[in-house]
Structures are given as C-alpha cells and as structure tokens.
Chains A and B, each alone.
Chain A
C-alpha cells in the first residue's frame, strides 16, 4: 500500500544533513497550521454581490419615490392602458404556455439523445437568446411577407385560419414566444439533464413504452423545472418590446402591451404615466414569481 493510503508521512532525512535555511523551513512547516479568519473573504463576496442587490432596490425605490397613488389611478383610468394590461396578461400567459409545450419535448430530446450534427441544433436554439430582439421582430416581419411558393405566410393564415398575424394580436404573442421559448428550452434541458435516466431505463424493463416511461416516471420529476420554465417564459414575454414594436406595431387599443405603453407615454413626455405603468409591470412580474414559487413549494 502506498503512503497516501496508510496515512504514514514520508520519512524526513536525518537533521544533520540539512542546511540551516532548510531546517528553518522544515520547522515552520512543522509548526501547528492555522488557517486564519474567513471573514475578509465572505465580506468581500458579500460586498460585491450586495452592490448589485442595492442597485436593483435603488431603482425600484426611485420609481416609487417619483410616482404617487394619483398617478396610478390616472393611468388605470385610461381605457388604452386598461386594454394594454389585459392584453399583456393574456399574451404573456399564452406565449408562456406555448413555450413549455414546445420546450418540454425539445429539452427532453436534447438531454437524452446524442446524434451527429447536434451542435447545429444547439446553435440554432441559441440564436433567439443572443440576437438583438429587434432583429427577431424584423425577421418575423420579413418571413410573413416573403413570397413563398406563390403566396405569403400572412395571406395563408388569413385564408386557412381566418385571421392575419402581422400588426395584430397574434403577432404580439408570436413575437413574445419566439424569444421566450428559447429560454424555456434551456431551462427544460437542464431539468432533464438533472433527472437520472436510470429510473426511466428501469421503467422500460418493467414493460413501458418510451412514452409511458416519460409520462409516468420522468415528467412527474420535472415539475419544478416546468414551473421555472413557465415563469421565465412569462417574464421574458412581459419584458419583450423590440420584436413587438416591429412585428405587431404599437397601435393603441389593438396591439399595445405594457412595454409598448411605457414607450408611447415616454415618447409624448408623460413621464408620470410611464413610471406608473413600469411599476405595474414590476408588480405583475413579482406576483407571477410569487404565485409560481408558492405552487412549486406545494408541488414538491
């Protein structure tokens, strides 16, 4: 057995053969070792991290200090803003639901299967994350108006499904979904990566088809991840602005969501209304985060 395994330290050479400088060093090494305080390290970490937390709180505090309940009432009394609140809540929820509907299978497949050319898919899925949102909006606009096989996608929607997409509410949802889904996919993929595939394999030996193993063994373990993916997709959709502006426009009472409202109010110089709406968005986001956390805690 080696010394490492037995814990026996290697023998040191006889003292007489060592020079004075070296013996000093040996003595120093032999002295009882003290690691010293951890406080400076933790204080530095806390200070660096705390600075960011402080910035967020200061931003919120500044918004709150700038506004007053009267501004809220004034903002909410406007029918356009009430419309925007409703459209925001509905569109964010639909795009978040669509996102987890797509992200769950995609995350699962990417987590469980290795195949050639997978890097290509990985890269493609990262495009919405790294691309400027405005570019995604522009690309959507072009896609829906490019003549494909003698017709345009927008016209096809009109003829087969009975509604147009561009500059209408479906465009709001699609613009939100295009970006939000990429984040949901990342979350779901990490979720499935963390679920041990062994249980699923045992389920196969017990007589399951893959679908049964997925629905009965894997998916129940993915609850927390599903909730996290929904939250992230919802929050991303709430914050989406560039693609909506380009692809859906900023028409009041038609395609206006809260992020558009902030922009519209700001552009006509009504700062109070813009700040009040911003705070509404903060509260909506916090409410969703809170509800989802609560649900997550109960589920697990």
Chain B
C-alpha cells in the first residue's frame, strides 16, 4: 500500500499542503491533473527525493517519511527517464542488484528474466544513447523493477511515444504489474492510458487529490469536446488521445 497522509511538500516557492492519497496493495492507481498541479512533486515525495515537511508517507504499512530514498525500496521511472549515459542496457538492469551486493547467479537470472519480459534481450550490450523512445522506456522500467520493489511510481512514462508503442507498453505494464502484484501509482494526462490501466482514479485539482469513479474515464462525449474537468485539457487537444 502507498499512503500519503496530510502531507505538506515544498518544491521551491511551490507548496502542496495537506495532500492525502491511498493506493491499496496490488492496486494500479492513475493520478491525473493539470500541468503545474504538483503531480511530480507528490511522486518525488513518495520515493524520498523531496522532503515532506508535515504529514507522513507510508509504504507497505511502514512509515517511511524520514527514510532516505535508497532505503524505501520503491521503483521510480521519472518523466525524463534519466537513464545512465555511460552504462549499457545490461548494466542498467544489473545496477540496483549490484548496489545490493546480490550474487552473480541471481543477477544473471534476473537480467535474463527481465529482458525477456520487457523484450529488450537484443539490446543488452547497447549503450542507451541511440535507443528509440519505446526501448528507452523499457530500459527505465527494467532498471526500476530489477530489485523487486514493493511499489512502483511512474511519472508520465508513455509520453512522446507513438500510439502503437504506447498500446504495447500499456499491455506490458499491466501484465507486469498483475504478475508481481505491484502497488503502482502512475501519472498521466492520457485518458486512453488511464482507461487501459487504472483500477483506481485519483485526480489532483486546485492542489487537492480526490478519488473519482473510474466511470468518469469513459465519457466519450466529454472527450470529444475536449472538455475535461480534471486533466487540465479544456483548451488543449493534446491529452485527449
């Protein structure tokens, strides 16, 4: 379970106060909201990259508010992926396990399994510079999954991908998440993505997170008019993909 209780998070001059949200164990929650609402700030606070001034972060029933990011055991795929430019794809998959001083056999097994599931076996020896968008996403996902995290945070992971690649990655995300029973929080602007993945819909509006019924996602009439009350898309056609 991922739980944020009345948390106040500061990001420069920007302050989010009294934010609460819950993702039940094994659940797949989608967090939607307009640009500048603080979605990324929330995710960073959960994985420990941003300090929570008040309130608490609970992961798997343990209060990790004062824990270092390294100790939280949360897989994180940031919006810009932030792959390691000097490492090969294999080294990305091995990274978290090497840090944990895992044995060679385990590392080899995990890399083989992950690369197979993610469909990147052919890329293992490559450096990350010339990977396509979809390939880079898979590598970032693999890097975050390698150490068997108890929760997964995805910050607009499928942005800037063509539709086919996005659909395929959606399927992959869903199957990986189900298989491992991973508690997942996924930020997106895309209703299509949300429809394909969510079993819980969270919306941030006026800096408050509220849970909405999934039925709100299936509102094609609204979508056609580009009229959405929560994804910040009143005027922009981009997100109603």
Which A residues fall within an 8 A CB radius of B? Answer: 1, 196, 198-199, 201-209, 212, 216-217, 220-221
**For residue B87, which residues in chain A have a CB less than 8 angstroms away from its CB?**
220
Apart from A205-B49, A205-B76, 14 more pairs, CB < 8 Å: A199-B82, A199-B83, A199-B85, A202-B82, A202-B143, A203-B95, A204-B48, A204-B70, A205-B74, A205-B144, A206-B95, A208-B70, A216-B95, A217-B84
CA distance A204 to B95 in the complex (A): 11
CA distance A207 to B73 in the complex (A): 7
Q: Is B170 an interface residue (CB 8 A)?
A: no
Minimum CB distance partner of A222 in chain B: B86
CA distance A197 to B78 in the complex (A): 12
Minimum CB distance partner of B85 in chain A: A221
Summed over the interface, the residue pairs from A and B with CB atoms below 8 Å come to a total of: 60
Report the minimum CB–CB distance from B131 to chain A (whole Å): 15
1/0 per residue, CB under 8 A from A, across B59-91: the answer is 000000000111111111010101111110000
Q: Is B100 an interface residue (CB 8 A)?
A: yes
Contact at A204–B49, with CB atoms within 8 Å? yes
A-B contact pairs, 7 of them (CB 8 A): A199-B82, A202-B143, A206-B147, A207-B71, A207-B100, A221-B85, A221-B86
Minimum CB distance partner of B48 in chain A: A205
Q: Please list the 4 inter-chain residue pairs (A to B) with the smallest Cβ-Cβ separation, ordered nearest first.
A: A198-B82, A220-B86, A206-B96, A204-B69
Contact at A198–B84, with CB atoms within 8 Å? no
**For residue B141, which residues in chain A have a CB less than 8 angstroms away from its CB?**
none
**For residue B85, which residues in chain A have a CB less than 8 angstroms away from its CB?**
199, 221
Q: Is B47 an interface residue (CB 8 A)?
A: yes
Contact at A198–B48, with CB atoms within 8 Å? no
Report which of A1, A198, A212 forms a contact with B99, defined as CB distance below 8 A. A212
Contact at A201–B49, with CB atoms within 8 Å? yes
CA distance A204 to B47 in the complex (A): 10
Minimum CB distance partner of A198 in chain B: B82
Contact at B83–A205, with CB atoms within 8 Å? no
Minimum CB distance partner of A196 in chain B: B82
Q: Decide yes or no: A205 and B69 within 8 Å by CB, A1-B235, A198-B78, A212-B99 being known contacts.
A: yes
CA distance A217 to B69 in the complex (A): 16
CA distance A212 to B84 in the complex (A): 13
Report which of A199, A205, A208, A212 forms a contact with B47, defined as CB distance below 8 A. A205
Report which of B68, B80, B86, B143 forms a contact with A206, defined as CB distance below 8 A. B143
1/0 per residue, CB under 8 A from A, across B131-148: the answer is 000000000000110010
**For residue A203, which residues in chain B have a CB less than 8 angstroms away from its CB?**
84, 95
Minimum CB distance partner of B99 in chain A: A207
CA distance A201 to B72 in the complex (A): 13
CA distance A83 to B80 in the complex (A): 55
**For residue B70, which residues in chain A have a CB less than 8 angstroms away from its CB?**
204-209
**For residue B82, which residues in chain A have a CB less than 8 angstroms away from its CB?**
196, 198-199, 201-202
CA distance A207 to B96 in the complex (A): 6
Contact at B147–A202, with CB atoms within 8 Å? no
CA distance A105 to B128 in the complex (A): 27
Minimum CB distance partner of B140 in chain A: A202
CA distance A220 to B83 in the complex (A): 13
CA distance A208 to B96 in the complex (A): 8
Report the minimum CB–CB distance from B43 to chain A (whole Å): 10
Contact at A204–B78, with CB atoms within 8 Å? no
CA distance A201 to B96 in the complex (A): 13
**For residue A212, which residues in chain B have a CB less than 8 angstroms away from its CB?**
99
Contact at B86–A207, with CB atoms within 8 Å? no
Minimum CB distance partner of B83 in chain A: A199
CA distance A208 to B98 in the complex (A): 10
Minimum CB distance partner of B75 in chain A: A205
Report the minimum CB–CB distance from A238 to chain B (whole Å): 31
Minimum CB distance partner of A1 in chain B: B235
**For residue B99, which residues in chain A have a CB less than 8 angstroms away from its CB?**
206-208, 212
Report the minimum CB–CB distance from B81 to chain A (whole Å): 8
CA distance A221 to B129 in the complex (A): 13
CA distance A207 to B74 in the complex (A): 9
Report which of A199, A205, A207 forms a contact with B84, defined as CB distance below 8 A. A199
CA distance A205 to B143 in the complex (A): 11
Report the minimum CB–CB distance from B65 to chain A (whole Å): 16
CA distance A220 to B84 in the complex (A): 10
Chain B CB within 10 Å — which of A204, A205, A217, A220 has the most? A205
